């Protein structure tokens, strides 16, 4: 059974996804603007959920304030690095392969670039940051 916070997150994600898909299907002239707004809203939600997760850990006395801020900074840095790499890889692949095929290959390249960047940040972070108990 989902916790109430997880259920709320799931409902928000499904609602945003549904609104975005319906609006993209039925209003072609505004699809570019809808896509930009959707990406911005999604990034804001991801940042809010990340901050909420770290502040909840801090409030439950799992971490000190300094450790919470450091972990939050690393998570946000990794998030922005993964997003930047995904956007760059998707754009390059999309431009290379054209309109129709470029969309799908650009999405795949974006996912691959994002996952690769997230893996790189996680492995580098594990080597650079020593945790003390």
pLDDT tens string 88-119: 877 777 777 776 666 677 777 777 877 887 78
Other beta carbons within 10 angstroms of residue 72's beta carbon come to 19
Residues 38 and 12 in one domain: yes
Residues 22 and 76 in one domain: no
Residue 77 pLDDT: 84
Residues of the chain with pLDDT under 70: 1-5, 99-103, 128-133
Boundary-marking domain end, from 27, 62, 97 = 62
- Cα 19 from Cα 9, distance rounded (Å): 15
Interacting residues of 122 by C-beta distance below 8 A, sequence separation 6+: 78
Residues 72 and 133 in one domain: yes
Nearest to 50 by CA among 67, 27, 75: 75
Nearest to 74 by CA among 112, 110, 111, 127: 127
Residue 131 pLDDT: 55
Domain range enclosing 101: 64-133
Residues 26 and 44 in one domain: yes
Residues 132 and 74 in one domain: yes
Chain position carrying tokens 């850990």: 57
Residues 41 and 88 in one domain: no
Domains in the chain: how many in total? 2
Residues 85 and 113 in one domain: yes
Residues 69 and 133 in one domain: yes
Residues 79 and 128 in one domain: yes
- Cα 116 from Cα 127, distance rounded (Å): 17
For the chain, what is the mean pLDDT?
A: 78
Boundary-marking domain end, from 32, 62, 92 = 62
């Amino acid at each position: 059974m989902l916790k109430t916070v997880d259920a709320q997150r799931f409902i928000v994600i499904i609602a945003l996804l549904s609104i975005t898909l319906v609006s993209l299907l039925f209003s072609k002239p505004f699809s570019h603007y809808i896509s930009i707004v959707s990406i911005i809203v999604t990034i804001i939600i991801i940042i809010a959920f990340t901050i909420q997760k770290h502040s909840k850990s801090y409030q439950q006395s799992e971490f000190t304030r300094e450790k919470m801020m450091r972990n939050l900074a690393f998570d946000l840095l990794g998030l922005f690095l993964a997003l930047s790499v995904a956007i760059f890889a998707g754009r390059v692949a999309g431009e290379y392969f054209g309109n129709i095929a470029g969309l799908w290959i650009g999405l795949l390249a974006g996912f691959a670039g994002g996952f690769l960047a997230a893996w790189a940040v996680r492995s580098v972070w594990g080597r650079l940051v020593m945790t003390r108990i």
